[in-house]
Amino acid sequence: MPDSFVIQPRGERSAASVAEASPERLRMDPAFGPLLAHLDDAVTDVFVNGAGGLFVDRGNGAEPAEGWRASEREVRDLAVALVGLGGRHLDDQAPCVDVRLDSGIRVHAVLSPVSTTGTALSIRIPRVRAADLDTLAALGAFDASQRVWLLGLVAERANILITGGTGTGKTTLLSALLSEVPSTERIVTIEDVAELRPRHPHHVSLEARQSNLEGAGAITLARLVRESLRMRPDRLVVGECRGEEVRELLTALNTGHDGGAGTLHASGLRDVPARLEALGALAGMDAVALARQAVSAFTIVLHLDRAPGGTRRIRQAGRLVIAGDRLDIEEVQPW
């Protein structure tokens, strides 16, 4: 599910204009019952730490929810019920499960004793309508000149790598950019847990699958990237590169699949080369091969961060370069 941008007042914006920019919210399944009293429209993330407490994030970091009371047994039952909504089973044989519900809500659960503080629930709540570039601009993600530049990247079929820490809006921005792709083009997105929801009439979403209790049936991101190449995508997108799939993505983007994109966890723009090298090593790529592939694969790197007030924004842009046979990056100001 996509990261949600926090509404922040800007200039002379009225409460009405803020309301117009805010996407509508989801209706929660009754299985969320014990949590419903703590979920207002501003909540994007919910954390249950066993019987120790409930925390919610409204854009300014996790805050304890007043009045929450639950035993470890009740939290475990809640986790089992929510995971069950996603068609998965949570028990001592499968104590760690990550599922996406039909509504787009993402639920991650870890049972005790793997979680030593009791059953741990992490829930990310999306907005029903994917944000577009106009909405994100209104929320302070970028200014008018940056918006024009972003539209140019989509029109020019640039290959884009979006980086940032957890909760900085990588998926939300990528969804908004994909919503600007011409309707005549076919988008294929590949994700560990499907979260990208662009407003586009020809979007095919592929989701990885974990193995069953017998250790069979797993379908990895790397395999899905290979499968997608047989689906004639006009835009090939990997929601988040976490491992060996980076090799397949780089290969695809270097063989005529322009207009592709991916996201990557990185603390800062300068950390991106090291993160790519680490992923390349998992795929058996040495640093020299990775550098040559990455420089020709990605047109631009967009790095996002989260301002102290909660606003997600484009902080920096950079281009990957080779320095002494190793991957490096230089910051650019293209807008």
Question: pLDDT at position 52, please?
Answer: 82
pLDDT tens sequence across 216-254: 888 988 899 999 999 999 999 998 888 888 998 999 899
For the chain, what percent of residues have pLDDT higher than 70? 90
Mean of all residue pLDDT scores within the chain: 86
pLDDT band at 110 (very low <50, low <70, confident <90, very high): very high
Burial class of 185 by CB neighbour count within 10 A (0 to 12, 13 to 18, 19+): middle
pLDDT tens sequence across 168-188: 889 999 999 999 999 999 999
Q: Is residue 301 pLDDT above 60, yes or no?
A: yes
How many whole angstroms from its chain centre is CA 193? 9
**Which of the two residues, 100 and 264, has the higher pLDDT score?**
264
Domains of the chain, start order: 25-124 (3.30.450.370), 133-332 (3.40.50.300)
Q: Is residue 128 pLDDT above 70, yes or no?
A: no
Q: What is the pTM of this model?
A: 0.78
- Name which of 85-89, 181-185, 265-269 the model is least confident about: 85-89
Q: Is residue 8 pLDDT above 80, yes or no?
A: no
Q: Which segments within the chain are labelled E, that is strand?
A: 45-49, 54-57, 62-64, 96-100, 106-110, 120-124, 160-164, 187-191, 203-207, 235-238, 261-265, 300-306, 312-323, 326-332
Question: pLDDT at position 78, please?
Answer: 95
